[in-house]
Structure 1
């Protein structure tokens, strides 16, 4: 990933505590919201709420890039922006491909939020209900605006403005009605879509507008012969809302968008037919279902609790709804900045990278495995393009592009050909994600519907990339780039070779799993290639050089070799892992991306150094999270880089789930190691951990660590071993995990298939010195 410099933030005037106190009663009355006063406000954009799910402020960020997003997996926008993006809607040929901008016919502003005004709005993001709220306490009324991407009516972005009179009649007042000035601000026309002229019509007595168009340019005519159609509908917005001085009313405005005009129109009709509160309740119900299935709760550290809740909100906002009024469209994956961004180079244009599989995917897999399936499905649906990329570069199997979007072809910008050419480890990362998915689900239907082919063909690619070195007797993989993008066109990247070796081993294992119904199988020598891949190791310093030609003390950009310890969990001596962590911490430049220090946190926690881990953990988020809406930047302050950087968010969640909670996934088992509390927290609870159909809750406090079984899958009975005794997991069972562990949960072997060796570069009784 690349990085960029931030623009300077401008200062603004902070509002006082008196305004806070005057408004708190009003907000407490707002449905689903609560704000408690936090004293000693210090900056213009402080979060004034002590509800862990609610982020509230009196002043919006002066840099609007740090405004929050709303989304439902189909459609998304940043609050108060003039742009809406839609899942799978891209424009531009190959390296120019980016999310196609739709004007924001959903961007409705209260006049009191646009100009200097005697009233003081409170802005709130409710991460539990998936809604952004603006509340204005006026002389004669309270105005509340709710903005949300509907989680059930997934083509719709909804604005609801409630005007509630204070019932303070003034007989001398010239205008007995209450007038609220509003403004629709969709921004300019789109540079990505050729729209026809808007067309008005009357629906149930209301004027609505519609417009249809096509993206200007196909991503790749070979795989996308025609541009993509897009249609949008939106309600007409007046200059003022008028309510009787003794009355109260909710005004509902909506915008819908879809590739199918009929779908967009029917969705708008249905939204407008709903009662205002019922419409909102259906949206909240869907968010409630997500949080009922799984979640993370932190007590004692409000800041940390809010950050974690914000991360899950932003991730889930970019993932598809589980239930929707209209059938869901095909899903096009998670990009580093989510669905609400992606129209610019800074925000990675909405493309898919290795970020999905290595950084965002692991915690999603444990809590929401059906979404992990959706992410793998995107790769399966573009696998035929990966096959073509392998062929034209002289290799076999599937070579997935470094960046992909609508078609699955390579869409890396022309500026950066080296990453497209050399950063081939993305294919190994996809195979590793498939490995973890099979380990936690044993989903045989997925294997039958393409998983067998995916795993086998990625292994075919790596087998064709590995070339025997007759001097060493080992296989080399040349002309690659690891995660550290400061060094390109290297030989035997440690990370690349390990994910390549894992891919080859996994194909052998899957050949056994799939033999009843999948004709092709991985050749037996694939495991021999994996066993004989060169893995750089320096015996003098007892560490892994990043690649064969690496010279000690060279600076690197980001986590690379340390990924061997986690998430790859490559077996090595504890001293080697400790040296990898210590050395690469000293040479990683400070202006790299956010997720590096999360992985260091996991490694250091596994070594038992809690004090050092706490410092690294704080470093992994403190300078990246921007108040008040907990929007992550790719780079540390004052730099910015990509915004709403979900890659960094995913790494941070891994520090909690796999570091502090101590969870580990292997092909044959699930482990819990040395579970402990994050800094300043008094409790950490992870609800809805899914392993082989069983639902688990892990509860950590300053006294005990307990594991509770809420449901099981009889197909895969599980046994917990605490180092001495076995306990069969049954619904309702709660076990106290005393000691450091590991505590191991297993089921019977899957089809009695032999587990892969997963040893790379160890075919001699020594490490390979370079």
Structure 2
């Protein structure tokens, strides 16, 4: 709260004096005269809460980048910022397209905390940021949240609780609280007219309806996007009688449709303040009753996990809403609360969604995974056009996409837009995982069959026979390692391309009663014959054809073959890939590299090495006190709040330490173990073929519990000796390292894809 008052040297000096005074009062009250004030100041930069769900501090981050956000998938903002973003609202032509800034008519600030020390808290399970000020005559609590049911609304509530005091003179003074609305400057992205005042339900309110200034692509977006906002007036002071508590509610709503924004605004104003808040919290509680990850024994780890799920769910649309949700425009690398700048990737969608963020969401919230795939489905016609203009067939998805689904990569970086085509294969891989977890026939019928087969057609048109080797080459590409562009036979690209081709053959069988695929066996033939660079002498995968050993790389690339792609290879090859690429990956790369290396070492049963790499994957990237992730290691920053790094970290827990892997015909749990320093790791609400499962790891052992099953897909678990029929209410102790294989009946008796590419003589890990 304090920093917005310190706008000149005099105010800054007064602020420093008052801050020091407040700290002295605190230290005298809590630690005695021997307590070091410097230690107190240092302590206040940290999260002081002992709860895994709550992050609390006396002092906000000095860098506003590391402030937390509130959001609900439709609308989001960083706390105390002058900017609100809305799902699907972008401004700028093609590579200049970015999230369009809406002034923060929700940014209400307390202006009376100079002589008190506020406590700032983020409650990840209630979805609310609070400011609590304990004053002489009252306790003031400000609650800031993007409502989870009234999804067009950002709500500020200020609750004033008078303290009961005996006044010998019987003089009762009113309680005054100074507040201020700080929406920031006019938007450069949206042309709003002057706000219109009116009275609604006895409240003085304002409204404005504007349009984005520049369409992303006139071919696919002929008209600008409408944005309408309503917000309550904010007085200079709140006045409360000394004898009774009071809740003041201030609201901002925003939508593309003026009627929707207005109706939601009126409805929220009609709600009782506490009931409005309770309805919001109830929706968050439903999310966590559906699924959760719990860690005991390592509080920092537990807090980071809770923070990640809070930020993820804040950017995903609510399932239950007052008014129907708008079309969802994807999950970008920094979430819905950011994206107005180049550093924050402008709110664009990359491969980050499908390969880094999506797998975690799929395992616990498959309905949200379907929402993410739907964004790709709805923009498939644009992908078809991109393939056509680049001389290919089928669907070629752009490296970056936003409102229209067309290519919106910045003019600075044409090489990534041209060469980083593996994003198309990653979308197919996400579809593969979705089908493995859900067997969603409805999704196949309503676009799934088409997107899978058209992605295969793209790769079939990209693969060119090499008459010298007799294998197919894919040239002019860039793998995940962006330090090397325009290469041939990127191992990562060729494997996701091969998987795409094989998946299309499988889906052609699944869809044959309602969708006709042309020559599906041809796709499998091409996949089987794709080149896959492999050094027989050094027993490792060169990153691409002609890769020069010793060349430094940006991030995990070839090591992704072992996980997440789970490509069969010798144990020695996997070990050599991990050892070599760890030695040549630059330190300035993104966090998720080390999560993938940690998973690899867990597969190789080098737990000490895995723990070192796991710690490396987050320790230098998580910023206190609100567990905000930076893309780059301290002291560098990069993108903030980096969902991609979060995704790699969660995958290390779910698919590394918990040992879960998903395949088209089974789910496997192998070598489940506790993360570093944890005494319990519980994953509740794992979804597999309609079943709800809980995996709990403790020092004493691991158990799998069944909450419910889908009658269509009965489940059996093979524990290495016996088949166990899973039924609701059953808890099974998993004895030994496994693997424990959970499977159901065959799906339409369709033959599983071979999934063998190039070097087909290699033995899989564990054989």
TM-score (norm 1): 0.94
- 1:134-192 residue CA offsets vs partner (Å, 9 max, x unmatched): 00011111100000000000000000001111123657799811110000000000000
On the 8 A contact 1:179/1:242 being kept in 2, the answer is yes
Pairwise CA RMSD of aligned residues? 1.9
**One of 283, 301, 306 as aligned partner of 2:303:** 306
Contact 1:501 1:531 in 2 (8 A): yes
Cα deviation code 1:311-366 (max 9, x no counterpart): 00000000000100011000011000000000000000000000000000001000
In the TM superposition, what are the counterparts of 1:76-475 in structure 2 within 5 Å? 76-112=76-112, 117-168=114-165, 170=167, 176-475=173-472
Deviations 1:553-597 (A, max 9, x none): 000000101110000000000100010000000000001011110
Alignment CA distance shift 1:476-1:161 (3 Å): same
* d(CA) in 1 for partners of 2:141, 2:30: 12
1:104-158 CA-partner distances (Å, limit 9, x unpaired): 0000000135xxx110000000000000000001111110000000000000000
Find the aligned partners of 2:705 and 2:566 in 1 and give their Cα distance.
26
Q: After the TM superposition, which residues 569-718 of structure 1 pair with which residues of structure 2 at under 5 Å, given as runs? A: 569-718=566-715
Deviation for aligned residue 1:549: 1.5
C-alpha distance in 2, partners of 1:682/1:16? 36
Give the superposition deviation at 1:247: 2.4
Deviation, structure 1 residue 539: 1.0
8 A Cα contact 2:437 2:688, kept in partner = yes
Distance 1:749 1:222, change over 3 A: same
CA contact (8 A) 2:108 2:180 kept: yes
Shift of 1:42: 3.6
Q: Distance in 2 between matches of 1:283 and 1:150?
A: 5
For 1:31, the equivalent position in structure 2 comes to: none
Change in CA separation of 1:23 and 1:56 when aligned onto 2, cut-off 3 Å: farther
Cα distance in 2 for partners of 1:62, 1:125 equals 17
Distance, in Å, in 1 between the alignment partners of 2:757 and 2:521 is: 16
Q: Give distance in 2, aligned partners of 1:608 and 1:388.
A: 47
Matched, 1:53 2:53: yes
Kindly provide the CA deviation profile for residues 464-521 of structure 1, in whole angstroms up to 9, marking residues without a partner as x. Answer: 0000000000000000000000000000000000000000000000000000000234
- Name 1:547's counterpart in structure 2: 544
Secondary structure, counterpart of 1:118 in structure 2: coil
Instruction: Find the counterpart in structure 2 of residue 525 from structure 1.
Output: 522
CA separation in 2, counterparts of 1:310 and 1:742?
31
| Contact 1:456-1:522 within 8 A present in 2 as well | no
Q: Distance in 1 between matches of 2:30 and 2:476?
A: 62
Q: Which of 531, 535, 544 is matched with 1:534 structurally? A: 531
Structure 1 counterpart of 2:725, from 719, 728, 736: 728
Counterpart in the other structure of 2:35: none
Q: Distance in 2 between matches of 1:253 and 1:266?
A: 16
Compute the displacement of 1:74 (Å): 0.1
Q: Is the 8 A contact 1:507 1:522 kept in 2?
A: no
Q: Do the aligned partners of residues 119 and 470 (structure 1) sit closer, same or farther apart at CA in structure 2, a change above 3 Å counting? A: same
SS of the residue 1:720 aligns to:
strand
Looking at structure 2, the residues matched to 647 and 763 of structure 1 have their Cα atoms a distance apart, in angstroms, of: 32
Match of 1:479 in 2: 476
1:752 aligns with 2:745: no
Q: Structure 1 703/389 Cα, relative in aligned 2: closer, same or farther at 3 Å?
A: same
Cα distance in structure 2, aligned partners of 1:691 and 1:731: 14
CA 1:766–1:211: 2 relative to 1, 3 Å? closer
Q: Distance in 2 between matches of 1:548 and 1:277?
A: 63
1:596 and 1:474 map into 2 onto residues whose CA distance is: 30
How far off its partner does 1:246 sit?
1.9
Q: Is the 8 A contact 1:23 1:137 kept in 2?
A: no
The whole-number CA distance in structure 2 between the counterparts of 1:112 and 1:42 is 24
SS of 2:112's equivalent in the other structure is helix
The number of residues matched between the two structures is 741
Q: What secondary structure does 1:343 align onto? A: coil
Listed one character per residue, the Cα deviations across residues 626-655 of structure 1 (whole Å, up to 9, x for unaligned) are: 000000000000000000100000110000
Question: Are residues 1:68 and 2:60 paired?
Answer: no
Q: Where does structure 1 lack aligned partners over 5 or more consecutive residues? A: 1-9, 25-38
Measure the CA separation in 2 of the matches of 1:144 and 1:638.
34
> 1:19 — aligned with what?
26
Aligned with 1:536: secondary structure?
coil
| Cα distance in structure 2, aligned partners of 1:575 and 1:369 | 35
> Secondary structure of 1:524's match?
helix
Contact 1:481–1:490, Cα closer than 8 Å, also in 2: yes
Q: How many Å separate the matches in 2 of 1:22 and 1:728?
A: 61
Q: SS at 1:112's partner residue?
A: coil
Contact 2:191 2:211 in 1 (8 A): yes
Partner Cα separation in structure 2 for residue 635 and residue 486 of structure 1: 16
Contact 1:532 1:763 in 2 (8 A): no
Q: Note closer, same or farther for the CA distance 1:130–1:415 as it changes in structure 2 (3 Å cut).
A: same
SS at 2:362 equivalent: helix
Provide the C-alpha distance between the structure 1 equivalents of 2:234 and 2:170, rounded to a whole number of angstroms: 27
The answer on whether the counterparts of 2:27 and 2:40 sit within 8 Å (CA) in structure 1 is no
Residue 616 of structure 1: how far off its partner (Å): 0.4
Q: Is the 8 A contact 1:474 1:533 kept in 2?
A: yes
